Amino acid sequence: MDACTAIVGINWGDEGKGRMVDLLTENFDIVVRYQGGGNAGHTIVNQYGEFMLHLLPSGVFRKNVVNVLGNGVALDPEHLLEEIQILQAKGVEVTPDNVKISNRASLLLPWHRKMDALEESRLKEKQFGSTKKGIAPFYSDKYQKKTVLAGELFYPEVLHHHLNDLREWKNLVLTGVYDEKPVTEEEIDAWLDKYCKPLMPYIQDTSEFLMEELHCHKQILFEGQLGALRDLDFGIYPYTTSSNVLASYAPIGSGMPGVEIDRIIGVVKSYSSCVGTGPFVCEMFGAEADRLRQIGGEFGHRTHRVGPIDLVATRYGVQIQAATEIALTKLDVLSKMDEIPLCVRYRLDGVETDKMPFPSVLDKCEPVIEKMPGWQSDISGIRTWWDLPKEAQDYVKRIEDAIGVVIKWISVGPERHSIIRRG
């Protein structure tokens, strides 16, 4: 078996990566989160119940799996502590033995969330649809070298001065630009006591840990957040997230620079969904969209926009993720449709293309739709490829032909074992 595998999203996020990690972790020793923060979540249904994981790696439910939050993560202590406590209350073991936080992960500070909300409200109708979890202000501060590392918690004097300097600087913006109250030293001290100190036992040099484990031939799984089209550098900028979600970034964000990833499992959803604003060429509207949203359970804090599978965007996502194999999720959601639409190309200025256009012209693109016959039967109990209706097989093969990478798994329900392994 290969030592390093990544599971990453190919579309706009919410593809069902969490369920794939939860399923496949039985074969891995370590699961690592390498980017992002509490702004997106994986939903996992297993014997403990249904969980939304935002920060904790999805291997946390498996005994004997060590879960690492790498240096690339936006480490929000308040959010992480709450998540740990929710899991512990439901009987899931979360200890410094099975959850480790990189001492080089930067801390999302109390003002980051505030800055996020203030900027979104300043933008009014031009809002980006931020989750207001402070992720964009966090990453911009990180790259300005204006946040603190988790490991600094072990050096209280250095930390005290560092945080005071940052607080003074941030208060200039809060009071001067946004006319807000300044953050006080007492507020920061209370935040340190309440949320950061309890996390200290989990913090260590995870790079060293991971490299040692790799040399001991342990199997490592990198778990990506969001999807390729939200990648900061290669996504639909500026409607991207503020970090690199691509598998190529996993070794860096995990603290293992230069380590090669052997397998990249790209997760593709059988239809499209997109949360937040920005171009979404294949978007469907009206009753058809409402029906798909309903069956697909596409609800959350923010509206889930839906559409048919977008083969242009999916092929691009597969390419930039450099996926070596695909997991196609939520095929069961399409079961009741007479005909299944697919967005096969875009039309831009009257010319059809199957190449992903530059982000600035996406709003001008129209989807070219083809339809395939549906199967109109419940496939959620099916566990082998050969038992799938022919129409469902044809649909899967049509996607596979378009993206040029083998579809190895097909999920037909949210539960861990509602899966068809192919080949």
Positions annotated as catalytic residues are 14, 42
CB of 139 to ligand GDP, least distance (A): 19
CB of 121 to ligand GDP, least distance (A): 26
Which CB atom, from 119 or from 415, has the smaller least distance to ligand GDP? 415
Q: Which of 7, 10, 11, 14 binds ligand GDP (CB under 6 A)?
A: 14
Neighbours of 63 (CB within 10 A): 6
Cα separation, 67 vs 53, in Å, equals 13
Cα→Cα distances 149→28, 70, 153, Å? 28, 12, 8
Please tell me whether residue 59 binds ligand GDP under the rule CB under 6 A. Answer: no
Q: Which of 282, 413, 420, 422 binds ligand GDP (CB under 6 A)?
A: 413
Segment near ligand GDP (CB under 6 A); pick from 138-146, 276-284, 285-293, 329-337: 329-337
Q: Which of 5, 12, 18, 281 binds ligand GDP (CB under 6 A)?
A: 18
CB of 270 to ligand GDP, least distance (A): 8
Tokens 């099975």 -> residue: 98
Tokens 């300005």 -> residue: 144
The footprint of ligand GDP on residues 296-325 (CB under 6 A) is: 297
Q: Which of 19, 33, 100, 422 binds ligand GDP (CB under 6 A)?
A: 19
Which CB atom, from 183 or from 331, has the smaller least distance to ligand GDP? 331
Segment near ligand GDP (CB under 6 A); pick from 64-72, 99-107, 167-175, 330-338: 330-338
Q: 93 pairs with which residues across the strands?
A: none
Q: Which of 69, 259, 412, 420 binds ligand GDP (CB under 6 A)?
A: 412
Which CB atom, from 344 or from 412, has the smaller least distance to ligand GDP? 412
Which residues neighbour 92 within 8 Å (Cβ) at sequence distance 6 or greater? 48, 60, 61
Which CB atom, from 14 or from 141, has the smaller least distance to ligand GDP? 14
Site size toward ligand GDP (CB under 6 A) is 23
Q: Which own/partner pairs from 113-118 qualify as long-range (CB within 8 Å, at least 24 positions apart)?
A: 114/174, 114/180, 115/170, 115/173, 115/174, 118/174, 118/178, 118/180
Q: 87 pairs with which residues across the strands?
A: none
Cα separation, 381 vs 394, in Å, equals 19
- Give which of 266, 371, 376 is closest to 328, Cα–Cα: 266
Q: Give helix 311-321 / helix 390-403 axis angle, nearest 10°.
A: 60
Biggest distance spanned by C-alpha atoms of the chain? 67
Please tell me whether residue 36 binds ligand GDP under the rule CB under 6 A. Answer: no
Length of the chain, in residues:
423
Which CB atom, from 43 or from 106, has the smaller least distance to ligand GDP? 43
| DSSP 8-state class, residue 192 | I
Which residues neighbour 185 within 8 Å (Cβ) at sequence distance 6 or greater? 164, 167
Please tell me whether residue 329 binds ligand GDP under the rule CB under 6 A. Answer: yes
Q: Which of 4, 5, 8, 9 binds ligand GDP (CB under 6 A)?
A: 9
Q: Is the dihedral of CA 100, 142, 322, 280 positive or negative?
A: positive
Segment near ligand GDP (CB under 6 A); pick from 13-21, 81-89, 98-106, 303-311: 13-21
CB of 18 to ligand GDP, least distance (A): 3
Which CB atom, from 33 or from 170, has the smaller least distance to ligand GDP? 33
Strands 304-307 and 272-275: antiparallel
CB of 257 to ligand GDP, least distance (A): 26
Cis peptide before 238 (omega within 30 of 0): yes
Cα separation, 203 vs 96, in Å, equals 8
The footprint of ligand GDP on residues 271-300 (CB under 6 A) is: 297
Please tell me whether residue 245 binds ligand GDP under the rule CB under 6 A. Answer: no
Q: Which of 5, 6, 10, 16 binds ligand GDP (CB under 6 A)?
A: 16
Please tell me whether residue 414 binds ligand GDP under the rule CB under 6 A. Answer: yes
Q: Which residues bind ligand GDP (CB under 6 A)?
A: 9, 13-19, 40-43, 45, 297, 329-330, 332-333, 411-414, 418
